[in-house]
Structure 1
Amino acid sequence: MSKLDQLKTMTTVVADTGDFDSIAEYKPQDATTNPSLLYKAAQLPQYRHLVEDAVAFGKGRGGSALEQARWTMDKLAVNFGGEILNIVPGRVSTEIDARLSFDTEGTIARCEGLIALYEDIGVDPSQQVLFKIAATWEGIGAAEVLERRGIHCNLTLLFSFPQAVACADAGVTLISPFVGRILDWYKNAENVPGYPADEDPGVRSVTEIFNYYKHHGYETIVMGASFRNVDEILELAGCDYLTIAPKLLAELAESDGDVPRKLDPAAAADMHLPRQSFNEKTFRWAVNEDAMATEKLAEGIRLFAADTQKLEAFAHEICRDC
């Protein structure tokens, strides 16, 4: 068995891409997208029809240019999500506009709009979609409301233990700790070329969160994300889910050798891990005290917002005369 096949025996593998061919090739259970991935995918000729359809839909809704742009982006996300669900047997994660990261009510309203669009194409969002929301205090609050309504959420841009604890206490379905971006920050801050896999700061962060969740019986799924190399992935073998880019999926599929389980719920159950909790004040202070989490969360929101704006501009440029 390849390393990828072995990994699939203990971890749910998710494709981190908007490219349908890659998803079909590696046969993951689920798939995730974000504005950066959709921007890249939307520029490929084979997906142009999805962009054109979204722009036509946005124009057809009427209203201001801003309102049309919003509907275009939501329809484009649903178009890609629907196509992905024709390939994967599980769920697709659809990102909520990063510009709503500090707007609880706006996030809820955007999710409601996306739900209606998914239902229009015959997709049951309660079974087939996770809505990706930035793990800010406001985002976690929105997810808590949505989860109570049976709308499942994937809390993304998660870089710290306090974010993870708040998400679990809010009852979110899944979290996405960003392994590689944590590594990037520490390499730069400590001016080192890298770390052994078992000392990788991103790997350690996910391991801490996984053990805490399993020790206290939380049902929230831990999905490691944003990997820089296969060693990070293999060091998290046994994690609930891992979302992996096509290049790294290919490396795993082409590699042989044993893949031992590194994360184990049974082992976590025997650990001494006191329960923690955060209210708004203590949450904001704890995240503020973590320079890496503060900087990477803010940077991630800015980058996703910028890619959303680039995607908007691209969609209207290629369909100027649609």
Structure 2
Amino acid sequence: MTTTTTGDIEKAAGVLRAGGLVALPTETVYGLGADAGNPAAVARVFAAKGRPPSHPLILHVSGADRLAGWAADVPGTARLLAERFWPGPLTLVLRRGARVPLAATGGLETVAVRVPAHPVALALLTEFGGAVAAPSANRFGSVSPTTADDVRAELGGAVDFVLDGGPCTVGVESTIVDVTGDTPSILRPGGVTREDLEAVLGRPVAEGTASRIRVPGQHPSHYAPNARVVLVEPENLLAEARAAQEQGHQVGVFLPPSLADAPVKAHAVVAVPEPDDDYARRLYGFLRELDRRGCDLILVSLPAEAGLGAAIANRLRRAAGPRTSA
């Protein structure tokens, strides 16, 4: 249940117009929003998150009819995908329009844009009238927030206003697709699956692992809790947990359905569902829960990478990535 009122929407739009920062709910995760056309406001987003300035932001608009000036052109493939998946968890990489400051794109001549499928976000975008640049509302590299309380706990006073739209329903970030070339390419898996995209387009969609276009979520360490995350093959999970616990670690375990009835020697255990909507929606909550329970090590097995399993596995790999400086 949301606690957002019409007055809250009007206040949040006023904060954006004044160059302030607003945390807003989307169906994927909570975003830290600023007026996309205001370079000073955009700079505040980077400062609040501790985000490297070379990492582009995603622009949010209220509809595909609001792309004028933000995107230089919208090719047919982009129009087809937007018609099917907007509002929704799909971000399209387009040529940068004249209204987009380079500060919001990390210096690139491309821009990432989407229309969120959350009534509070859409109400704010409609009231505001422009584009809102909004990465996830957390410190750079850490677990993305899926509730307003997550935002308040992590960013506190760095946010001028928090819109509470209730828990996010998708729970992992949007799929990012580059549509600037001849072949659409997934730069980040997310809430729209590869299978969904290919069904609409009627042709294969590439995986842009070698793309030179920078987009959010490509840093080696991302979505990371305080505890160290280690990837373990399912058949080794119980033995690795027991050994780490005996070595003095406070071990947290993501227990897959295949091991649901197995005895686990660990400090804390979360039973994860099959790699579907429920797992994606609860993923970041599981990581935050094991942090709250005092774990210093989290052992997890990757799910099968079909459907939403691809996005879940992507997030877990990056959560387990090397934690070097940006």
Structure ranking higher on relative contact order (CA contacts 8 Å, 6+ apart): 1
TM, length-normalised to structure 1: 0.26
TM, length-normalised to structure 2: 0.26
Q: Hey, which of these two has a bigger chunk of strand by percent?
A: 2
Q: Hey, which of these two has a bigger chunk of helix by percent?
A: 1
